[in-house]
């Protein structure tokens, strides 16, 4: 784990995101508060449709213009919500690197991977073609691609899934961003390759002092890389805190249920996995009160009527949760 004492890179306060759809106005993100600092990894964890990607992409200007966003988003101390499209474009180009789930879709099959990386340096740094190619090869080396000169001359279909994701990571860090967003970066990869890619992200974070926000539905991935974890459900952050506290002493019943549903090494074949009854709501049909109440084994009367607010920094604790009847602290 990194020990971040770095400056805040992103600070999101009271973030709400709406989309106008044919079924009316969809309230996708509700009162989200999170931040990430230099050298730190924040993992946003939750099931599909919980609002993980919308929350992160809203905070970094990556949502379509049709999204309505309210609240405050500060990037390196400057408010960016309501900023011009040109400011956001500059920010995205120079300060934010993004890794998406499917490396094949992120690369152009018609161009050599080296040329795709080199283009970033010719366009944004004004380098000559030969200088940019040399930088591209250097970058492939820094993401631990063996024989980088030869690989730079290949097309994406000639590389393995893990190598392709390393190329995408190289492109994401080419301009030395201060923030790296990794949106399910290992979901499309084999288990053994997943570990190597997570180790690479950690190494690059430490070397380059980047802030990393990683989005995943996989608790194992979160546990292996996160300094802090934010659990999302139904468009809200329901629990947030240091990785150890959240995973070893979860207070929100949803976090508790997610952990109980994970297979454990040495638990024995007869140990049945706990399942969470029901299915997660879509962002268009979020139940009133606590969104988790139809599936919660600890629900009490007011859970179906009153939204539990997350109490941030209560008694100075950085471990916060939103629940009327939380689990006992360990």
| Residues at the interface with ligand SF4 (CB under 6 A) | 252-254, 290, 292-293, 296, 298-299, 303, 308, 323-325
Report the chain's C-alpha Rg in angstroms. 21
The CA-based dihedral angle spanning residues 169, 175, 181, 186, taken in that order and rounded to the nearest 10 degrees: 0
**How near is the Cβ of 306 to ligand SF4 at its closest, in Å?**
8
Considering the complex, state which of residue 213 and residue 323 has its C-beta at the smaller distance from ligand SF4: 323
Q: Which two tokens stand for residue 51?
A: 């609002």
Nearest distance in Å: CB 54, ligand SF4: 21
Q: In the complex, what is the shortest distance from the CB of residue 49 to ligand SF4, in angstroms, rounded to a whole number?
A: 18
User: How deeply is 211 buried, as exposed, middle or buried, from its count of CB atoms within 10 A (0-12, 13-18, 19+)?
Assistant: buried
Which residue's CB is nearer to ligand SF4, number 100 or number 254? 254
Cβ proximity to ligand SF4, 27 vs 298, nearer residue: 298
**CB of residue 250 vs ligand SF4: minimum separation in angstroms?**
11
Are residues 319 and 251 in contact, defined by beta-carbon separation less than 8 angstroms?
A: yes
Q: Which residues contact 304 (CB under 8 A, 6 or more apart)?
A: 287, 288, 289, 290, 293
The residue among 93 and 300 lying less far from ligand SF4, judged by its C-beta, is 300
Residue with smaller CB distance to ligand SF4, 213 or 303: 303
> 95 or 298: whose CB is closer to ligand SF4?
298
Q: How far is the CB of 62 from ligand SF4 (least distance, A)?
A: 30
Q: Which DSSP state fits 212? A: E
We find the least distance from the C-beta atom of residue 113 to ligand SF4, in angstroms, to be 46
Q: CB-wise, 134 or 307, nearer to ligand SF4?
A: 307
For residue 15, the cross-strand partners are: 32
C-alpha span between 202 and 214 (Å, rounded):
11
Q: Name the minimum Å distance from CB 102 to ligand SF4.
A: 33
Q: Tell me how far CA of residue 115 lies from CA of 111, 122, 137, 155, 175, in angstroms.
A: 6, 10, 10, 10, 15
The DSSP annotation for 1-45 comes to: -----PPEEEEEEEEEEEEEETTEEEEEEEEEEEEEETT-EEEEE
Only one residue has tokens 């997570």, namely 198
| 209/252 with CB nearer ligand SF4 | 252
Helices (H) and strands (E) in the chain, counts: 11, 11
Please report how close the Cβ of residue 284 comes to ligand SF4 at its closest, in angstroms. Answer: 20
């Amino acid at each position: 784990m990194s020990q971040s004492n770095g400056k805040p890179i992103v600070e999101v306060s009271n973030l709400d995101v709406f989309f106008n759809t044919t079924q009316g106005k969809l309230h996708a993100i509700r009162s989200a508060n999170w931040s990430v600092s230099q050298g730190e990894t924040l993992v946003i964890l939750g099931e599909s449709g919980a609002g993980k990607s919308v929350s992160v992409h809203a905070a970094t200007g990556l949502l379509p213009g049709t999204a309505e966003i309210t609240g405050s988003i500060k990037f390196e101390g400057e408010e960016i919500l309501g900023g011009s499209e040109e400011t956001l474009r500059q920010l995205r180009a120079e300060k934010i690197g993004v890794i998406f789930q499917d490396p094949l879709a992120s690369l152009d099959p018609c161009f050599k991977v080296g040329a795709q990386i080199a283009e970033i340096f010719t366009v944004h740094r004004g380098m000559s073609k030969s200088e940019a190619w040399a930088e591209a090869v250097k970058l492939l080396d820094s993401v631990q691609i063996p024989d980088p000169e030869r690989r730079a001359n290949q097309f994406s279909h000639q590389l393995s899934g893990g190598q392709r994701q390393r190329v995408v990571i190289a492109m994401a860090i080419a301009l030395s961003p201060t923030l790296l967003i990794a949106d399910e970066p290992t979901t499309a990869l084999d288990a053994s390759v997943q570990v190597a890619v997570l180790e690479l992200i950690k190494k690059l974070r430490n070397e380059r002092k980047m802030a990393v926000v990683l989005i995943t539905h996989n608790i194992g991935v979160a546990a292996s890389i996160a300094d802090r974890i934010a659990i999302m459900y139904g468009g809200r952050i329901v629990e947030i805190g240091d990785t150890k506290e959240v995973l070893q002493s979860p207070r929100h019943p949803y976090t508790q249920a997610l952990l109980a549903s994970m297979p454990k090494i040495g638990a024995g074949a007869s140990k049945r996995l706990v399942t969470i009854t029901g299915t997660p709501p879509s962002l268009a049909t979020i139940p009133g009160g606590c969104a988790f109440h139809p599936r919660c084994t600890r629900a009490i009367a007011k859970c179906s009527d009153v939204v539990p607010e997350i109490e941030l920094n209560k008694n100075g604790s950085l471990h916060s949760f939103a629940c009327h009847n939380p689990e006992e602290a360990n």
